[in-house]
A = this chain, B = another copy of it.
């Protein structure tokens, strides 16, 4: 997503409004990923952390805390912890997915190796929990350890559901809630908790993050069949090649006739993929309106996210979070 694209403006405005805090997060990331005893650790993390990621999750934590009137220092710790957990899951996902590209660069496990991806991910995870203990707030530890468990359950569920055409939209939602939405909702929720916000605001922040994360993943899954590599930062058709049961596939399979079902069974269940199969899959999705329906569902979740925001204090930051929600689905408009 290029920066002069109109659609990036909400994200940029949020980054500008949180400029001082985001700089503090950057500085803390640099400090905390250093290892006295194992100097090679930052080599691996610098690769990912320095790759110009959108820093969307830490920004959500900072925005949530400030929106609820927080003026202490610990939202920076929590935002850093959230980014570390996210980076750890990317590192471990690289081992898992054997994907070739992440944020437009070769993945860490190709640069170094699988062993480092596992261990450095573990290191960042441990560092995240150290940052949380710095806040002395047991509730944020509870929220983020719960989220960490749910993230992993989502990934395991995705593994076991992969290549299984019986996977339905309900299972897909569980996977998405786990692998993506759990960290979004925890990121916004801990912002409210550290600010000491009223329970209904904390709940609204959770709901906003949850719905935003679900929509975000739906759009991501949609782009995998409709984007271009330079826009989505990974290869179009990666999910197809990995035989993932994402919502567009689930919807196309649900409407498949016998011959189409045989096609899906061959390419997804048996993994027997040939030249032109990705194009055939995309054509079937178009025929059955699978991409259009996925997009409509993503928009519905964005509407829920925006509804939750209305329970939070009216402020410029709230408008930016609202625009951000809108921007998530603008990528597929």
Contacts and interface: CB of A to CB of B under 8 A. Distances in A.
Given A115-B159, A116-B159, A37 B153 contact: yes
A153 to B, nearest CB: 4
Nearest to A130: B145
A116 B118 CA distance: 12
Contact of A119 (B35, B92, B174): B92
A231 to B, nearest CB: 28
Given A41-B153, A116-B159, 18 more contacts: A35-B156, A37-B153, A40-B156, A40-B159, A92-B119, A95-B118, A96-B115, A115-B159, A119-B155, A119-B156, A123-B149, A123-B153, A129-B148, A130-B142, A130-B145, A130-B146, A132-B141, A133-B142
The 3 closest A-B pairs by CB, nearest first: A126-B148, A129-B145, A126-B149
Contacts of A133: 138, 141-142, 145
A263 interface: no
A157 interface: yes
A125 interface: yes
A148 to B, nearest CB: 4
Contacts of A151: 122, 126
Contacts of A37: 150, 153-154, 157, 174, 178
A102 interface: no
Nearest to A40: B160
Interface in A146-172: 146, 148-157, 159-160
Contacts of A126: 145-146, 148-149, 151-152
Interface size class of A (residues with CB under 8 A): 35 or more
A120 interface: yes
User: How many chain copies?
Assistant: 2
Contacts of A130: 142, 145-146, 149
A157 B119 CA distance: 10
Contacts of A35: 153, 156
Interface of A: 35-38, 40-41, 92, 95-96, 114-116, 118-123, 125-127, 129-130, 132-133, 136, 138, 141-142, 145-146, 148-157, 159-160, 174, 178
B138 A114 contact: no
Contacts of A159: 40, 115-116, 119
A174 B120 CA distance: 17
A133 B138 CA distance: 6
Nearest to A160: B40
B145 A41 contact: no
Contacts of A160: 38, 40
16 contacts: A37-B150, A37-B153, A37-B154, A37-B174, A38-B152, A38-B153, A38-B160, A40-B159, A92-B122, A96-B115, A96-B118, A118-B118, A119-B152, A123-B156, A126-B151, A133-B145
Contacts of A155: 119, 122
